[in-house]
């Protein structure tokens, strides 16, 4: 693994790293001053587009392209929503940035707002992050006092107000239109698109929604240039015209059964085995790895023989995963039961589905009931086919739901069963030796009195 300069995590080990004086001492807000004095919003937007920055929140959509969709011909304000609702299991990189280097996040937010001509920004923060709330609010107050925020910032024509809003802790609020609905004080049901938020978002005005790590990258692109950013990562695959490349530094979360769990910075394209063995110190207690979640639980699973997978926006797809996601790698050692893993996964998504779309509401609920039946010793081989049928028929990709939560719920089901089919079948034979071949009736569909 090639070594690289730490950029996003460069300040977190400094004493009082969250303080304005510490950040300014390391060159903080120097770029913000220069951009306000010397550059235009369109120049910053073009710079970010040229850098190839893709959103770090999960979908990986090109950030500059997303900004270019804004409807600028409508009267009234443009809003910017910073998605700090970090709710993907295994993900904690945004929390580290907000707690230990909040001014880096804010400078990136200010530059992003300037580039998109947004006059009001909302930071939608997960309620379970109390320290991040305190640190961000103190950082905002310091910025207002220093003149980095407010009307006619630093004597320029640009004005910006930023508000910190705490969400109630629902997974669905990580979806951008669900976030917007919650921000407006409504139930966080994702909106049907179009219209997209760039045309009609918060309060029915043009809106950009970006992730915390994404805007932190914007700060460094504006300081160091697009060529510096493109010098790291993985170039486009010439055989795939839909791959725009995976550029820049990335924060990788590593947890589970490893010797040194933590948040590590490296260029996009780091291999899973490099992350586990070289940065994470290998699998703990001298055990062997069985599987790993490559980018948050919704991305699916990699077997241990698939750890050569690169953590970029394209390579996980070649291994049957949904994508890179948040690059939150969770390692499972040889002692983990894949049946228990899948039961926990289904339990999570059944609880977090907003219930708006029938395939997701019913699919996540029935997946959980089937896994509960399997764990209770009443499972059948037929149930594996039923679970795969549910997984293959719900989500945006098969075109049955409004948002991608159902896809995230489906991928662990499909990967776990297809990649560890033998383990599931062996579990069924051991726990239900007399009934594992049964086809009818389906116990999960009967009432308790009929069962």
Express each pLDDT in 32-70 by its tens digit: 999 999 999 999 999 999 999 999 988 889 999 999 999
pLDDT tens digits, 70-101: 987 788 899 999 999 999 999 999 999 999 99
Q: 10 in a domain, yes or no?
A: no
Same domain, 88 and 184: yes
Chain CA centroid to CA 279, Å = 21
- Answer yes or no: is 97 within a domain: yes
Domain count, the chain: 3
Report yes or no on 444 lying in a domain. Answer: no
Assess whether 284 and 138 both reside in one domain.
no
Enter the DSSP assignment of 283: B
Rounded CA separation 306/271 (Å): 10
Residues 53 and 178 in one domain: yes
Query: For residue range 180-228, what is the model confidence (pLDDT) as tens digits?
Result: 999 999 999 999 999 999 999 999 999 999 999 999 999 999 999 999 9
Please check the confidence at residue 451 and state whether its pLDDT lies above 50.
Answer: no
Residue 93 inside a domain? The answer is: yes
Query: For residue 110, which of 10, 204, 30, 173 has the smallest C-alpha distance?
Result: 30
pLDDT in tens, 237-292: 888 888 899 999 999 999 999 999 999 999 999 999 999 999 999 999 999 999 99
- Last residue of one domain, picked from the residues 274, 302, 333: 333
Question: In sequence order, which ranges of 101-175 are alpha helices (DSSP H)?
Answer: 102-116, 130-146
Can you give the pTM of this predicted structure?
0.93
**What pLDDT score does 1 carry?**
53
- Domain residues for the domain of 276 are 248-333
Same domain, 166 and 81: yes
Asked, for residue 445, whether it belongs to a domain, the answer is no
Same structural domain, 203 and 262 = no
Q: At 431, which CATH number?
A: 1.20.1440.230
- Of 286, 304, 333, the last residue of a domain is 333
Report yes or no on 13 lying in a domain.
Answer: no
Distance CA 256, CA 260 (A): 10
Domain CATH number, residue 323: 3.10.20.600
- What is the tens place of the pLDDT at every residue in 383-395? 999 999 999 999 9
Please tell me whether residues 296 and 359 are part of one structural domain. no
- For 295-318, the pLDDT digits (tens) are 999 999 999 999 999 999 999 999
Is residue 321 located within the same domain as residue 370? no
Contact 311, 327 (CB under 8 A): yes
- Asked if 50 and 288 touch (Cβ cutoff 8 Å), the reply is no
- Which of 333, 363, 396 delimits the end of a domain? 333
In a domain, 30, yes or no: yes
Instruction: Give 3-state DSSP helix, strand, coil % of the chain, rounded to 5.
Output: 45, 15, 40
pLDDT at 445 over 60: no
CATH of the domain at 99: 3.40.50.11540
**pLDDT mean across residues, the chain:** 94
- Dump pLDDT digits (tens) for 401-438: 999 999 999 999 999 999 999 999 999 999 999 989 98
Domain check: are 275 and 221 in the same one? no
Regarding whether 328 and 354 lie in a shared domain, the answer is no
Is 8 within the bounds of a domain?
no
Do 176 and 63 belong to one domain? Answer: yes
Which long-range contacts does 134-142 make (Cβ < 8 Å, 24+ apart)? 135/18, 135/98, 135/99, 135/102, 136/84, 136/98, 136/102, 136/105, 136/106, 136/164, 137/164, 138/18, 138/102, 139/18, 139/20, 139/102, 139/103, 139/106, 140/106, 140/164, 142/19, 142/20, 142/103
Q: Give the model's confidence band at 168: pLDDT under 50 very low, under 70 low, under 90 confident, else very high.
A: confident
Verify that 327 and 342 share a domain, yes or no: no
d(CA 354, CA 177): 13
Residues 29, 166, single domain; the answer is yes
Buried b (16+ CB within 10 A) or exposed e, 219-250: bbbbbeebeebbebbbeebeeeeebbbbbbbb
Contact 322, 411 (CB under 8 A): yes
């Amino acid at each position: 693994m090639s070594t690289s300069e730490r950029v996003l995590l460069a300040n977190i080990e400094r004493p009082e790293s969250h303080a304005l004086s510490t950040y300014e001492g390391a060159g903080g807000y120097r770029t913000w001053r220069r951009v306000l004095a010397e550059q235009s919003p369109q120049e910053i937007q073009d710079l970010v587009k040229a850098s190839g920055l893709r959103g770090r929140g999960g979908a990986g959509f090109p950030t500059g392209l997303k900004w270019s969709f804004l409807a600028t011909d409508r009267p009234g304000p443009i809003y910017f929503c910073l998605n700090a609702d970090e709710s993907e299991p295994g993900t904690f990189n945004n929390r580290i940035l907000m707690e230990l280097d909040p001014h880096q996040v804010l400078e990136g937010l200010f530059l992003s707002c300037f580039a998109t001509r947004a006059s009001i920004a909302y930071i939608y923060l997960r309620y379970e992050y109390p320290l991040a709330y305190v640190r961000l609010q103190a950082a905002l107050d310091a910025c207002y006092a220093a003149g980095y925020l407010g009307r006619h910032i630093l004597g320029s024509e640009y004005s910006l107000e930023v508000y910190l809003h705490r969400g109630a802790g629902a997974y669905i609020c990580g979806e951008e239109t669900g976030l917007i609905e919650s921000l407006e004080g409504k139930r966080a049901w994702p909106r049907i698109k179009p219209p997209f938020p760039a045309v009609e978002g918060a309060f029915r005005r043009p809106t950009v929604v970006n992730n915390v790590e994404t805007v932190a990258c914007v700060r460094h692109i504006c300081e160091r240039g697009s060529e510096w950013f493109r010098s790291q990562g993985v170039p486009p695959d010439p055989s795939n015209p839909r791959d725009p490349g995976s550029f820049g530094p990335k924060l990788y979360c590593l947890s589970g059964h490893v010797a040194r769990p933590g948040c590590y910075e490296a260029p996009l394209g780091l291999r899973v085995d490099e992350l586990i063995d070289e940065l994470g110190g290998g699998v703990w207690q001298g055990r062997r790895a069985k599987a790993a979640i490559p980018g948050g639980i919704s991305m699916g699973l990699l077997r241990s023989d698939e750890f050569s997978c690169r953590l970029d926006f394209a390579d996980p797809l070649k291994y049957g995963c949904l994508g890179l996601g948040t690059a939150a790698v969770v390692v499972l050692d040889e002692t983990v039961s894949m049946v228990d893993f899948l039961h926990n996964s289904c339990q999570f998504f059944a609880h977090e589905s907003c219930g708006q779309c029938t395939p997701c509401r019913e699919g996540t609920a029935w997946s959980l009931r089937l896994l509960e039946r399997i764990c209770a010793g009443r499972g059948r081989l037929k149930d594996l086919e039923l679970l795969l049928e549910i997984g293959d028929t719900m989500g945006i990709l098969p075109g049955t739901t409004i948002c991608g939560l159902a896809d995230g719920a489906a991928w662990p089901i499909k990967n776990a069963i297809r990649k560890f089919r033998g383990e599931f079948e062996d579990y069924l034979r051991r726990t239900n030796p007399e009934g594992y071949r049964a086809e009818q009736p389906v116990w999960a569909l009967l009432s308790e009195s009929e069962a």
